[in-house]
């Protein structure tokens, strides 16, 4: 299932069930799992491992060298899970330092021209729309939806089930379950539709709404708002625990 014009460098490990299209390039340190499809003119390079059932569309570049000027050589890595889709001209970069890794989970969709920079950590079931970009060291949780042409600043964290509106400029951390929009992006409301689609109960959604009001509508600073979350909302609720835990991990402040 390898086209005669594809270039598979010596050392590459390609599962016998994988399909490699015309004029595709597979670098010498690449590992490609079962049932993965690399379409014509796509490039997989660097110390990159793809799991099973991924699809790489034409002209995508998976495993490109970091843009980080601090790169001093070595063998940084890119690790990709299963069932991801990388559409046309998507670029996913290796990490910067020797043996460190950019990580992409499973069941994500990256639409045309989306970009994931060095050292990012992308969860599972995320969607990055066309032209969306993550700066270096960005962390995305699970089920994050990044709108068209949105940009996320280096070292930002985006919590699970968040929604980033089209053309958003995200320069601070985005708490889970929230919707942000604007330049710079601010939290507008909760991601109610996304939570309903993912099967959250009405009780969980009401807890998220109550947390949103405390965080963003009461005029409190972050520490005051978190104190109220802990005092007034259900600490046994998974969504409330995640909001509190995310706050403890946040380094750039909340959007």
**Catalytic site includes residue 119:** yes
Catalytic residue among 21, 136, 141, 147: 136
Domains of the chain, each with CATH number or no CATH? 7-137 (2.160.10.10), 196-249 (1.20.1180.10)
- Is 118 considered catalytic here? yes
* Tens-digit pLDDT profile for residues 174-216: 999 999 999 999 999 999 999 999 999 999 999 999 999 999 9
Pairing mode of beta strands 178-182, 185-190: antiparallel
Tell me how far the alpha carbon of residue 199 is from its chain's centroid: 21
Q: What three-state secondary structure class fits 44?
A: strand
Structure letter (DSSP) for residue 136: T
pLDDT for residue 176: 98
The distance in angstroms from the start CA to the end CA of the chain is: 48
Average pLDDT over residues 104-122: 98
40 is catalytic: no
Closest CA to 166 of 193, 208, 133: 133
As a whole number of angstroms, the distance between CA 52 and CA 164 comes to 28
> Of all residues in the chain, what percent carry a pLDDT higher than 90?
90
Would you say 150 and 168 are in contact if contact means Cβ atoms under 8 Å apart? Answer: yes
Q: Tell me, what's the pLDDT at 255?
A: 85
Catalytic residue among 119, 142, 173, 181: 119
**97 cis-preceded (ω within 30 degrees of 0):** no
Cβ–Cβ < 8 Å for 21, 39: yes
d(CA 215, CA 206): 14
Can you tell me the mean pLDDT for 78-96? Answer: 98
Mode of pairing for the β-strands spanning 47-50 and 139-140? unpaired
Overall average pLDDT of the 117-127 stretch: 98
The neighbouring-strand residues paired with 77 are 47, 101
Distance from C-alpha of 176 to C-alpha of 187, rounded to nearest angstrom: 11
* pLDDT score recorded for residue 154: 97
Long-range contacts at 194-199 (CB < 8 A, ≥ 24 apart) = 194/143, 194/145, 194/161, 194/163, 195/161, 198/143, 198/161
- SS3 at position 97: coil
Q: Which of 118, 125, 131, 137 is catalytic?
A: 118
Does residue 235 register a pLDDT over 90?
no
Residue 86, both tokens: 């990388």
pLDDT digits (tens, 9 = 90+) for 130-168: 999 999 999 999 999 999 999 999 999 999 999 999 999
Q: Do residues 104 and 74 touch, judged by C-beta distance below 8 A?
A: no
Average pLDDT, the chain: 96
């Amino acid at each position: 299932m390898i086209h005669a014009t594809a270039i598979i460098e010596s050392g590459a490990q390609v599962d016998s069930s994988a399909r490699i299209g015309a004029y595709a390039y597979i670098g010498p340190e690449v590992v490609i799992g079962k049932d993965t499809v690399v379409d014509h003119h796509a490039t997989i390079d660097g110390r990159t491992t793809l799991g099973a059932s991924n699809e790489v569309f034409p002209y995508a570049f998976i495993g490109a060298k970091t843009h980080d000027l601090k790169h001093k050589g070595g063998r940084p890595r890119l690790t990709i899970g299963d069932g991801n889709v990388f559409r046309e001209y998507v670029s996913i970069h290796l990490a910067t330092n020797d043996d460190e890794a950019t990580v992409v989970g499973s069941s994500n969709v990256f639409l045309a021209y989306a970009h994931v920079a060095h050292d990012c950590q992308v969860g599972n079931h995320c969607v990055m729309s066309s032209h969306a970009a993550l700066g270096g060291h960005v962390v995305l949780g699970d089920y994050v939806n990044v709108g068209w042409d949105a940009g996320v600043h280096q070292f930002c964290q985006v919590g699970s089930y968040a929604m980033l509106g089209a053309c958003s400029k995200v320069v601070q951390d985005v708490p889970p379950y929230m919707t942000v929009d604007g330049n710079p992006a601010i939290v507008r409301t909760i991601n109610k539709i996304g939570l309903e689609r993912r099967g959250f109960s009405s009780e969980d959604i009401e807890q998220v709404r109550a947390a949103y009001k405390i965080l963003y509508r009461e005029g409190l600073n972050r520490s005051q708002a978190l104190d109220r979350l802990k005092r007034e909302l259900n600490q046994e609720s998974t969504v409330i625990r995640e909001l509190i835990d995310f706050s403890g991990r946040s380094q750039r402040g909340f959007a």
